[in-house]
Amino acid sequence: MSTLPFAPCVTHAQFSNSLSPMFILRGIPFTRHLRFSRNNRISSVVYAAAVRQDATLWTPAPLSQIESAAESLFHISIDVSNSPDLVASYTRPGQYLQLRVPDVEKPSFMAIASPPSFASARGAFEFLVKSIAGSTAEILCGLKKGETVELSPVMGNGFDMAQIHPPEEFPTVLIFATGSGISPIRSLIETGFGADRRSDVRLYYGARNLKRMAYQDKFKEWESSGVKVVPVLSQPDDGWKGETGYVQAAFARSKQVSNPDATGVVLCGQRQMAEEISSMLVADGVSNDKMLKNF
């Protein structure tokens, strides 16, 4: 784990016994089914315990947009214009919150994809959500515009870019993301961290193929802000001329880290990818203290 303040790179809830590409955070089930208990005393004790555990303050908010972002990925916007305290609590890219959908007790933990300035200016939080069969995220992606969900307060420390500031002292910033892990990276890039004042800012973004790669419409905008986007496809279609394989392999082929002491790193996505790249960079002399790890 990084020595930096930690913020999980969560984009959706995934309920599986296998290792998730992102941290899987589980909510506490509430007590809807206690009415089936035959022992009222036991039921009331369990109910009280559940209430004590579920002390989260939930804010109802309507969905303002749901549309496809890529294969199995959805762009979701939630109107928080009537919740100024909630908007004000989002201060740094990489922060996240819990989201509950109607008639489902277990919430999803999701990173906010839009930058804090977007929430302040437009009164909305945007998310990139992967729809997984049987999950809360699947139900969320099936809702309609105008339906209401519930949001917790914003959580986590987010990306502490002060660790690799000022830009003049850290001209190289290497960013790595896989799958829906691009969500908080979008917030980071669009918040701005002086990429245009750094000489080498690269984003290695991995997906199975172009159909599963979100935010392609934003690549030119990101490039104009000073971030070179390097898409990496593990199962590309015929005709693909770019990088292939896994992100860590693509990076290994062209590391080009000229000054390890002046290099910052941001990682978000699959754990194996993050660990292999971290090991690679540490071996080249990059300080682990300058790696912002969210996986």
pLDDT tens digits, 31-69: 333 333 444 443 343 333 344 345 789 999 999 999 999
Do 174 and 263 meet the contact criterion of CB atoms below 8 Å apart? yes
pLDDT tens digits, 260-286: 999 999 999 899 999 999 999 999 999
Is the overall model pTM greater than 0.85, yes or no?
no
Same domain, 170 and 287: yes
Same domain, 271 and 190: yes
Same domain, 209 and 257: yes
Instruction: Specify if 34 maps to a domain.
Output: no
pLDDT of residue 28: 35
Domain total for the chain?
2
270: CATH: 3.40.50.80
Domain range spanning residue 65?
A: 59-151
**Residue finishing a domain among 151, 175, 192:** 151
pLDDT tens digits, 118-153: 999 999 999 999 999 989 999 999 999 999 999 999
